[in-house]
Amino acid sequence: MISTLDEEIPADGGTELAAWLFLPRGRGPHPAITMAHGYAGTREHGLERLARAFASAGFVVLVHDHRNFGTSGGLLRGDIDTWRQIADWRRALSYLVARPDVDPKRIGRWGTSYAGGHAIVLGAMDRRPACIVAKVPTINGYEQGLRRVSPDALPALEDAFNADERAQQRGEAPRRQAVVSPDSSVPAAYRSQEAIDFYLQPMSGGYRDNEVTLRSTRAARMNEPSNWISRVSPTPLLLVVAREDKITVTDVALAAYERALEPKRLVLIPGGHFTPYLDQFPVAEAAATGWFCEHLTMPDA
């Protein structure tokens, strides 16, 4: 039987990161996996199902909410600071390494979407994990922005960014936008129906975080994990890519995979960005579980 604990992980600035800890059967020390969600996502956006699958395979699993989201702390709700999230994830890994029921030499890192990009960056700079899984990862915010924002709309977006900067200089709070909205009159990060359905899926207490700072979008457009992907080696990297991904963009992910060095593996799945959480979940889960078992449960791991 899998045990589930609610944990709080101290991070910089006195912020506590809320996390679920899943404990497998048997005595440790066990191999372990640390997990994080993507842009404006929370643990409740489909991660429990996957975490339980990993725990059933014999792994201790830690799933945390990014600061300013979910039940984690943070003074500026909805603000996404790429490098702060990366630093916080290192703290989550440090928490996991220190647990007596975890083997610190057999830890994997799993990230999806925006945090899939974080997993790549951390794979290049933090050698504690023995392997990495990046699912439908952010690869190049600039290239993604070129695909998702038409040239005609770009001047207005840049004007909004600059107006936000001027307002902050005057001492005003950062301006905000919805994460998802079908209403074209409402500024939003995503408008596709698949994104709306995913972010607004039924969950305990509802999705309280359907709002981000506008500067989060500007930061996302400057986020380029592709610069780090060739440095992940010799840590084994699994890239899970959706064939029709219009959010983290399939061809950009495939080009990044070509730049990654061995050991690496690519798994292509049908559908768009959110299908690995939904109808293609069994394929994505089996690929990740197999990768972790291959690299974390071997006698010489």
3-state per-residue secondary structure call for the chain:
CCEEEEEEEECHHHCEEEEEEEECCCCCCEEEEEEECCCCCCCCCCHHHHHHHHHHCCCEEEEECCCCCCCCCCCCCCCCCHHHHHHHHHHHHHHHHHCCCEEEEEEEEEEECHHHHHHHHHHHHCCCCCEEEEECCCCCHHHHHHHHCCCCCHHHHHHHHHHHHHHHHCCCCCCEEEEECCCCCCCEEECCHHHHHHHCCCCCCCCCCCCEEHHHHHHHHCCCHHHCHHHCCCCCEEEEEECCCCCCCHHHHHHHHHHCCCCEEEEEECCCCCHHHCCCHHHHHHHHHHHHHHHHCCCCC
| Any domain includes 196 | no
Residue 224 has pLDDT above 90, yes or no: yes
| Any domain includes 185 | no
Residue 208 has pLDDT above 80, yes or no: no
| Residue-level pLDDT at 205 | 62
Tell me: the pLDDT tens digits for 64-104?
Answer: 999 999 999 999 999 999 999 999 999 999 999 999 999 99
| Any domain includes 39 | yes
| Any domain includes 130 | yes
**Which of 13-22, 111-120, 198-207 bottoms out in mean pLDDT, i.e. has the lowest?**
198-207
Indicate which CATH number applies to the domain containing 120.
3.40.50.1820
| Any domain includes 29 | yes
| Residue-level pLDDT at 169 | 97
Residue 301 has pLDDT above 50, yes or no: no
pLDDT category, 207, cuts 50, 70, 90?
A: low
**Which of 144-148, 180-184, 192-196 bottoms out in mean pLDDT, i.e. has the lowest?**
144-148
| Residue-level pLDDT at 151 | 87
| Residue-level pLDDT at 298 | 55
Residue 31 has pLDDT above 90, yes or no: yes
The boundaries of the domain holding residue 49 are: 3-145+223-296
Is the full-model pTM beyond 0.85? yes
| Any domain includes 160 | no
- The structural domain count of the chain equals 1
More confident residue, 287 or 205: 287
| Any domain includes 266 | yes
| Residue-level pLDDT at 300 | 42
